[in-house]
């Protein structure tokens, strides 16, 4: 005597099999300043789509070199707009896939409450031993920090006190550990939902540096990866943009 399986069970098994067959992993290079929001976005992306984003964080300039040398990244979220545009022009990114996912904010921050005033006068007083920045040669936030000091006519005086991190995350760590009393970091590293997480800060006025437009692009290795396209579309969606804004970025 034969028994027939439940149509409902068969349907569920088919759906589960289909989902496994169509989900994939996508390797993503992410600018260090975007670490916290991207970790949240990746978790929601996996929950909502089944795709898994494998994240690597670092300096934009270093990622550029790695991509040119064949790194297996499918999507690149840079800390500037120039690098993705360059990759696109050089044939290393999918034409037309580039877009601005966030506009960053530069902040002078100290882990010590009251150390940094809300006008940035602490820079002119110079009563500190070390000021941390990201490497201006490879990290856009570091390059913009140098522009701020230059426009304030303080670069020559502060240059001997600069402590340079490989990327913005390392610059932040220098401040947290006390190796530098203060430094220039991304607002997203020290603020969430409009509140300063700790210490004291001065949000640098936009006229003291160039806009930090952060562009994303699908790389050549991601051209035929549905998960890469899905991630880019997800970053443009309401859930991801809400997360981005909660960390102090503009859109």
pLDDT tens readout for residues 103-144: 999 999 999 999 999 999 999 999 999 999 999 999 999 999
Edge-first strand listing for the sheet containing 182-186: 162-165, 131-134, 182-186, 106-110, 200-203
**pLDDT at 6 > cutoff 80:** no
Q: Name the H helices within 32-96.
A: 35-49, 60-68, 82-89
pLDDT score of 194: 79
The count of C-alpha atoms lying within 13 angstroms of the C-alpha of 197, restricted to the half-sphere facing its C-beta, is: 14
Q: How far apart are CA 135 and CA 132, in angstroms?
A: 9
187 has a pLDDT exceeding 90: yes
All structural domains of the chain, each given as residue ranges with its CATH number in brackets, are 7-103+212-246 (3.40.190.10), 106-203 (3.40.190.10)
pLDDT for res 148: 98
* Of 178, 121, 184, the residue nearest 152 (C-alpha): 121
pLDDT tens by residue, 199-251: 999 999 989 999 999 999 999 999 999 999 999 999 999 999 999 999 999 98
Instruction: Output phi, psi for 157, to 5 deg.
Output: -70, -35
Helix pair 168-176, 140-151: axis angle to 10 deg: 70
Span 87-104, average pLDDT: 97
pLDDT given for residue 195 in this prediction: 86
Q: Which residue has the higher pLDDT, 14 or 45?
A: 45
pLDDT digits (tens, 9 = 90+) for 146-181: 999 999 999 999 999 999 999 999 999 999 999 999
Q: Is the pLDDT of residue 74 over 90?
A: yes
Of 212, 199, 208, the closest CA to residue 248 belongs to 212
In contact, 106 and 144? CB cutoff 8 Å: yes
Percentage with pLDDT > 70 across the chain? 92
φ and ψ at 105, to 5 degrees? Answer: -125, 130
* Mean pLDDT on 75-82: 97
What mean pLDDT is predicted for residues 39-48? 98
Task: Give pLDDT, residue 13.
Answer: 42
**Does 19 have pLDDT greater than 70?**
no
Query: Has residue 14 got a pLDDT over 60?
Result: no
- The reported pLDDT for the residue numbered 21 is 46
* pLDDT score of 181: 98
In 3-state terms, what secondary structure has residue 98? coil
């Amino acid at each position: 005597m034969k028994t027939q399986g439940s149509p409902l069970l068969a349907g569920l098994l088919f759906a589960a099999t289909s989902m496994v067959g169509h989900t994939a992993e996508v390797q993503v290079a992410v600018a260090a300043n975007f670490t916290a929001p991207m970790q949240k976005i990746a978790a929601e992306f996996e929950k909502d789509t089944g795709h898994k984003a494998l994240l690597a964080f670092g300096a934009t300039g270093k990622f550029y070199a790695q991509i040119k040398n064949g790194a297996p990244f499918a999507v690149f979220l840079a800390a500037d707009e120039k690098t993705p545009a360059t990759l696109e022009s050089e044939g290393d990114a999918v034409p037309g896939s580039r877009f601005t996912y966030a506009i960053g904010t530069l902040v002078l921050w100290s882990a010590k409450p009251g150390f940094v005033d809300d006008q940035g006068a602490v820079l002119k007083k110079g009563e500190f031993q070390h000021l941390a920045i990201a490497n201006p040669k490879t990290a856009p936030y570091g390059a913009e920090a140098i522009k701020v000091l230059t426009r304030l006519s303080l670069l020559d005086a502060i240059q001997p006190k600069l402590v340079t991190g490989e990327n913005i995350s390392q610059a932040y760590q220098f401040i947290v550990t006390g190796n530098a009393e203060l430094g220039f970091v991304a607002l997203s590293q020290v603020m969430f939902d409009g509140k300063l997480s700790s210490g004291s800060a001065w949000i640098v006025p936009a006229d003291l540096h160039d806009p930090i437009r952060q562009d994303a692009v699908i790389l050549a290795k991601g051209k035929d990866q549905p998960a890469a396209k899905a991630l880019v579309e997800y970053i443009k969606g309401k859930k991801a943009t809400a997360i981005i804004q909660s960390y102090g970025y503009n859109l």
